[in-house]
């Protein structure tokens, strides 16, 4: 019997499914096997408890052992609006006017000790994050103020009920630290996960040598067929930049997942040619300049506006991009997000005027008006080279062009934070580094301390709070965007509470035999290594 059209269509359908299931990295078929050796640019994480810690070292060390509910799409990590399921079966549409999200959980998911993972575990883990019990720490409690309850009505369903509908919920839910723990253990001993590892992720915990390395082996019962490709991984702690570069050069390790400065990338590319592949992306981190509004003359908006008008972001960014990991000029919203300002919109804001001479003349005029010509002050900074010190050095140079004499006051991390919190500085380099791109929550950094505790500008501004409050509740995207523009102009220009420097830039050079990993705008994302394979 001759092959009929129906038969051909079936074959085509099967082929289409097969093509869709293959990783989107290219036409090569992934090879199974091998151990990925990578470096973690930290000394050692304080603990491996994702609910408690906020450092990327915890994620780089232990994310491969755990599953999450939803996450940024590992095949399209640059997208700031695409979220896909990890433990759920499909992304739900919110019901009840956008206030209820119902997730269906996969079946056949097992913890590494063999016990099944059900919706109860998911709900218990999320309750530990959103409403931690007495004596427990959850570092990200404040992200989830919009959540009312989390319940598991049956073993395969988790229901999130919100207090109000907001587009900030899903990005918050995709938090890379929101690991799913076992309910049984959380009930018995909530502190267990501070010292132990038990997850349901693609790799099983195989040993931690304090300060040295962390090892994982393939989880044979992983719920996604065919994954992970690697037999295991070995994460070596190597804080020093020079060591990491040399290790990649000498093939002692294949890569690191944080980001390297441009000079290292150039060096590796020059020496290793096509043995090195480089992926680059804008980074959801930025250095800000925060004047201390309690210190004269920074309580005067004219002086603050002068400070920001002196800075030539447009010409500074390309020059800095050669030596520091910064790159893109942007406003308060991450440059890749739909809510971000366009170049034209930016150029209307102080600090981004296209004509720098005009900008600096205006700055000088404002200083004169405020009686602060030739002002001398100290810029407090953290003792980290990339890019803090480079940015600060550039800023001081820029400010000298309007006659300001600024000296840098560099402090180690502990005293730096103390200085921030005690407000003992004149002007400080500040920073805002978030995981999932969630502009509505991320710009909270610019709100006064009374609303956002990590704001160190020492100011109060009810008008700013009012401007902000409308945004999370606004469901129409165009209107929301306009609100964001108004908020941005108010913060950066009218009141000049804080100002921007170029956004950070993530550069990952790695050995070309590593495949299946795609760079994302944050070094916290996409770290479970499930789709990584070695072409060796």
Partner 1 sequence: MTIAAPDSRAIPAILDDVPEIRRSFLRRAWIFCRRQPLGTFGMVIVVIIAIAGLSADWIAPYSPTANDFAAMTEAPSWAHWLGTDQFGRDQLSRIIYGARTALIVGFSCAIVASVAGLVLGVGSAYFGGRLDLYLQGVLDIVMAFPLIIMALAVVSIFGTGVHNVIVAITIPLIPRCARVVRSSALSIREVPYIDAARACGFGHRRIILRHMVPNVMAPFLILLTAFVGQAILAEASLSYLGLGVQEPVPAWGLMLQGGAEEYASTAPWIAIFPGLAIALTVFGFSLFGDALRDALDPKLRDR
Partner 2 sequence: MYRYIIKRLLLVIPTLVGAAALVFLLMRLIPGDICVVRLGSGGGTFDERAVQACHAQLGLDRPMFLQFVDFVWGFFRGDFGISMWSGKPVLYEIAARFPISLEIAIMAVVVANLIAIPLGTLSALKQNSPIDLVIRVISIAGLATPSFWLGILFILAILNVSEAAFGSPWMPPIDYVPIWKDPLRNLSMVIFPALTVGYRTSAVTMRMTRSAMLEVLREDYIRTARAKGLVERIIINRHALKNALLPVVTLIGIEAAFLIGGLVVTEQVFNLNGIGRLFVQSVQNQDYTMTQALVMLVVAAFVLTNTVVDLLYAWLDPRIRYG
Residues at the site binding partner 1, with contacts judged by CB under 8 A: 240-242, 245-246, 261, 263-264, 266-267, 319-320, 322-323, 383, 385, 389-390, 393-394, 396-397, 407-412, 414-415
Per CB under 8 A, 28 contacts partner 2: no
Residue 267 interface partner, choices partner 2, partner 1, none, CB cut-off 5-8 Å depending on type: partner 1
Per CB under 8 A, 169 contacts partner 2: no
C-beta of 328: minimal distance to partner 2 in Å?
17
> What value does the CA radius of gyration of the chain take, rounded to a whole number of Å?
25
SS (H, E, C) 327-352: CCCCCCCCCCCCCCCCHHHHCCCCCC
| Site map 422..441 versus partner 2, x via CB under 8 A | x--------xxxxx-----x
Q: Are 67 and 176 in contact (CB under 8 A)?
A: no
Per CB under 8 A, 189 contacts partner 2: no
Identity of the residue, 101 or 237, whose beta carbon is nearer to partner 2 in the bound complex = 237
Among positions 454-473, residues that touch partner 2 (CB under 8 A) are 454
Q: Are 142 and 135 in contact (CB under 8 A)?
A: no
Per CB under 8 A, 140 contacts partner 2: yes
Distance CA 276, CA 513 (A): 9
In the list 54, 157, 458, 494, the residue contacting partner 2 (rule: CB under 8 A) is 54
**Cβ burial 47-72 (10 Å sphere, 16+ → b, else e):** ebbbbbbeebbbbbbbbbbbbbbbbb
H-only helix segments in 250-385: 262-272, 301-309, 313-323, 343-346, 356-370
Identity of the residue, 233 or 353, whose beta carbon is nearer to partner 2 in the bound complex = 233
Among positions 394-423, residues that touch partner 2 (CB under 8 A) are 412-415, 417-419, 421-422
Identity of the residue, 20 or 250, whose beta carbon is nearer to partner 1 in the bound complex = 250
Query: Residue 410 forms beta bridges with which residues?
Result: 381
C-beta of 444: minimal distance to partner 2 in Å?
7
Residue 250 interface partner, choices partner 1, partner 2, none, CB cut-off 5-8 Å depending on type: partner 2
Between the alpha carbon of residue 394 and those of residues 85, 104, 319, 509, the distances in Å are 43, 51, 10, 26
Per CB under 8 A, 46 contacts partner 2: yes
Identity of the residue, 264 or 531, whose beta carbon is nearer to partner 2 in the bound complex = 264
Distance CA 369, CA 502 (A): 29
Q: Which two tokens stand for residue 335?
A: 């440059």
Q: Are 422 and 416 in contact (CB under 8 A)?
A: no
C-beta of 236: minimal distance to partner 2 in Å?
5
In the list 3, 188, 210, 344, the residue contacting partner 2 (rule: CB under 8 A) is 210
Identity of the residue, 103 or 169, whose beta carbon is nearer to partner 2 in the bound complex = 169
Between the alpha carbon of residue 166 and those of residues 123, 172, 441, 477, the distances in Å are 21, 11, 11, 11
Q: Which two tokens stand for residue 6?
A: 């129906």
Among positions 56-95, residues that touch partner 2 (CB under 8 A) are 56
DSSP 106-154: PSS-B-TTSPBP-HHHHHHHHHHHHSPPTT---TTGGGGTTEEEEEEEE
Identity of the residue, 324 or 530, whose beta carbon is nearer to partner 1 in the bound complex = 324
Residue 217 interface partner, choices partner 2, partner 1, none, CB cut-off 5-8 Å depending on type: none
Identity of the residue, 45 or 261, whose beta carbon is nearer to partner 1 in the bound complex = 261
For 46-93, strand residue ranges (E) read 70-72, 83-85
| Site map 234..253 versus partner 2, x via CB under 8 A | x-xxxxx-xx--xx-xxxxx
Least Cα distance to 72 among 440, 337, 331 occurs for 337
Residue 263 interface partner, choices partner 2, partner 1, none, CB cut-off 5-8 Å depending on type: partner 1
Distance CA 315, CA 229 (A): 45
Q: Which residues bind partner 2 (CB under 8 A)?
A: 39, 43-44, 46-47, 52-56, 135-143, 194-195, 209-213, 234, 236-240, 242-243, 246-247, 249-253, 285, 412-415, 417-419, 421-422, 431-435, 441, 444-445, 452-454
């Amino acid at each position: 019997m001759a092959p009929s059209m129906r038969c051909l269509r079936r074959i085509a359908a099967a082929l289409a499914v097969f093509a869709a299931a293959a990783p989107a990295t290219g036409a090569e078929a992934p090879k199974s096997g091998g151990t990925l050796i990578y470096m973690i640019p930290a000394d050692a994480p304080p603990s491996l408890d994702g609910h408690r810690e906020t450092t990327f070292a915890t994620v780089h060390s232990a994310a491969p052992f755990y599953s999450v509910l939803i996450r940024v799409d590992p095949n399209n990590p640059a997208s700031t609006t695409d979220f896909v399921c990890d433990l759920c079966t499909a992304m739900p549409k919110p019901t009840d006017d956008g206030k209820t999200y119902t997730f269906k959980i996969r079946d056949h998911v097992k913890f590494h000790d063999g016990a099944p993972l059900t919706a109860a575990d998911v709900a218990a883990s999320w309750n530990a994050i959103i409403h931690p019990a007495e004596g427990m720490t959850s570092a990200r409690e404040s992200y989830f103020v919009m959540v009312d309850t989390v319940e598991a009505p049956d073993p395969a369903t988790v229901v999130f009920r919100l207090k109000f509908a907001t587009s900030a919920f899903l990005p918050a839910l995709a938090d890379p630290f929101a690991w799913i723990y076992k309910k049984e253990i959380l009930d018995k001993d909530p502190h267990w996960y501070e010292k132990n590892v038990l997850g349901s992720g693609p790799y099983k915990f195989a040993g931690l040598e304090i300060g040295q390395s962390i090892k994982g082996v393939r989880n044979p019962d992983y719920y996604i067929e065919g994954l992970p490709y690697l037999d295991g991984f070995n994460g070596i702690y190597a804080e020093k930049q020079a060591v990491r570069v040399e290790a990649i050069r000498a093939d002692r390790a294949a890569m690191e997942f944080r980001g390297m400065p441009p000079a290292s990338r150039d060096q590796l590319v020059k020496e290793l040619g096509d043995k090195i592949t480089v992926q680059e992306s804008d980074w959801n981190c930025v250095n800000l300049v925060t004047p201390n509004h309690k210190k004269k003359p920074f309580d005067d908006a004219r002086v603050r506006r002068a400070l920001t008008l002196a800075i030539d972001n447009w010409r500074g960014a390309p020059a800095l991009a050669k030596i520091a990991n910064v790159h893109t000029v942007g406003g308060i919203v991450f440059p890749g997000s739909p809510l971000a300002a366009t170049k034209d919109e930016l150029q209307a804001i102080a600090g981004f005027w296209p004509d720098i001479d005009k900008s600096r003349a205006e700055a000088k005029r404002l200083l004169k008006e405020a009686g602060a010509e030739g002002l001398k002050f100290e810029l407090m900074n953290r003792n980290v080279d990339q890019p803090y010190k480079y940015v600060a050095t550039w800023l001081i140079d820029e400010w000298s062009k309007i006659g300001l004499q600024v000296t840098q006051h560099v402090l180690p991390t502990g005293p730096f934070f103390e200085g921030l919190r005690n407000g003992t500085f004149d002007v400080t380099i500040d920073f805002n580094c978030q995981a999932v791109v969630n502009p509505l929550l991320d710009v909270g950094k610019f709100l006064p301390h009374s609303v956002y505790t990590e704001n160190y500008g020492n100011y109060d501004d009810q008008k700013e709070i009012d401007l902000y409050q409308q945004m999370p509740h606004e469901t129409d995207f165009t209107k929301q965007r306009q609100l964001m523009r108004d908020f941005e102009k108010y913060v950066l220009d009218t009141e000049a509470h804080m100002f921007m420097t170029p956004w950070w830039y993530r550069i990952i050079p790695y050995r070309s035999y590593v495949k299946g990993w795609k760079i994302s705008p944050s070094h916290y994302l996409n770290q479970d290594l499930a789709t990584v394979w070695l072409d060796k």
